[in-house]
Amino acid sequence: MFSIDRLRALAAVAAHGSIAQAARALHLTPSGVSQQLAKLEREAGHSLLQPHGRSVRLTHAGRVLAAHADRLIAQLASAEADLAALGSEVLGPVRIGGVGSAVRTLLPDALAALAAAHPRLVPTVVDGEAVDLLPRLAGGELDLLLVESWAPRPLTVPEGITLRTLVSEEVYVALSAHHPLADRATLDLTAPADLGELADTAWACCPPGTEAYEALVQTLRARGIEPDIRHLLADHPTQLALVSRNLTACLAPAMSRRPAPPGVRFLPTRPALRRDIRVAWPARVQSPPVRACLSALATAVPGASKGEWEE
C-alpha cells in the first residue's frame, strides 16, 4: 500500500521538475522529500527517479506512478470538498424504493425538482411491494420508501421506521363495460357497487403478502365471500388490461385509474375502501438527501405540506 504523502512527493517532483522546488511547494525540506521518494521506490519495486544534470527526472515507472498519484490526489481533494460541503449542500446517493403506482404518479415530479435544486444528488429508484422493500429499508439497503396502506389492513412497519402520509385516496372496483354492474358507472357515477354482488366474479390482484392482496381478501371475506383470485399481477395497468376484456375485476386506487384502456368502468365500493400512500424512512437517519426528498415529495403532492403529514 502506497503512502499518500509519498505519492504527493512524487507528484510534486513531476509537476515542478526538481526535488528542491517540490520541497518548497510541499513546505518540506529537500532531504525530507528525498527520504519520502526513497521509501516510495522500495514500496514500488522500481526506480522512479534518475539523475538529469544537476537535477532529476522521472523514469518511465516514475511517470506511470505519478499519473496515478495525480488522479488519487484529485479524488481525495474532491472527497474532502464533498465532506466539507455536507453541511450546506445536498449531494451524493439516495436510494428510493416504492410501490409502482406511487413511483409512476408521484415520483417523477419530485425527482425533477431534486435534479433542479440539487444537481449533485444522485437518486436511484427500485419498484416493489412493501413486504419486500421494508426489510431492505430497515437493513440499510434503501434510504426512503413510498408504500401503500389500505384501510381494511393498515400497514405495520418495523420498529425505528417513521411513516408520513402523502396521499389518501378512494379505491374503486374496476369492471368491464360488459359487466352487468357496469351500467351504474354510466348512469350514476356515485352509485356504489356492493362487493357482496360480486360473489361469482373472478379477480385480478397483486401477489399474496402485498397490502392490496390482503385488503381484497379481508374485505370480501367480511362480506361472506371467498375470493376467486385468478390473476396475480404486480401492476394495476396489467390488471386493467384484463378487466377491459371482461376476464376479471380488480380494485383500482384513484391514482391507478389513469391511463385505463377503453372498455373499463370504475365504481365506488360499498363498503367504501381507501388507500394511503405513505413515505417511510429510518427514524435514526434523516440525512440531507432524505430531507431533500421529503421536501420534494411534499411539493409534488397537491395540497400536501410537511407540517400536515402524520408521524
Work out the average pLDDT over 278-289.
83
Least reliable range by pLDDT among 79-88, 197-206, 225-234: 79-88
Q: Are strands 55-58 and 250-253 parallel, antiparallel or unpaired?
A: unpaired
What is the pLDDT at residue 307?
A: 43
pLDDT tens sequence across 10-55: 988 888 888 888 888 777 898 889 998 899 989 888 898 888 877 7
DSSP secondary structure of 63-90 = HHHHHHHHHHHHHHHHHHHHHHHTTT--
Contact 10, 33 (CB under 8 A): no
Helical spans, DSSP H, in 162-254: 183-187, 211-222, 236-244
The CATH number fitting domain 170-273, selected from 3.90.400.10, 3.40.190.290, 3.90.190.10, 3.40.50.2000: 3.40.190.290
Q: Exposed, middle or buried: residue 72 (CB in 10 Å: 0-12, 13-18, 19+)?
A: middle
pLDDT tens sequence across 113-168: 999 999 999 999 999 999 899 988 887 889 999 999 998 788 888 888 899 999 99
Q: d(Cα 4, Cα 120) in Å, to the nearest integer?
A: 27
What is the pLDDT at residue 278?
A: 95
What is the pLDDT at residue 73?
A: 82
Task: Look at phi and psi of residue 65 and say left if phi exceeds 0, alpha if psi is from -120 to 50, else beta.
Answer: alpha
Tell me which fold the domain 4-85 belongs to: Arc Repressor Mutant, subunit A (1.10.10)
- Range(s) within the chain of domains with CATH label 3.40.190.10: 92-167+277-308
pLDDT tens sequence across 241-270: 999 999 999 999 999 998 889 999 999 988
- Range(s) within the chain of domains with CATH label 1.10.10.10: 4-85
The hierarchical CATH code for the domain 92-167+277-308 is: 3.40.190.10
- The answer, as to whether pTM is greater than 0.75, is no
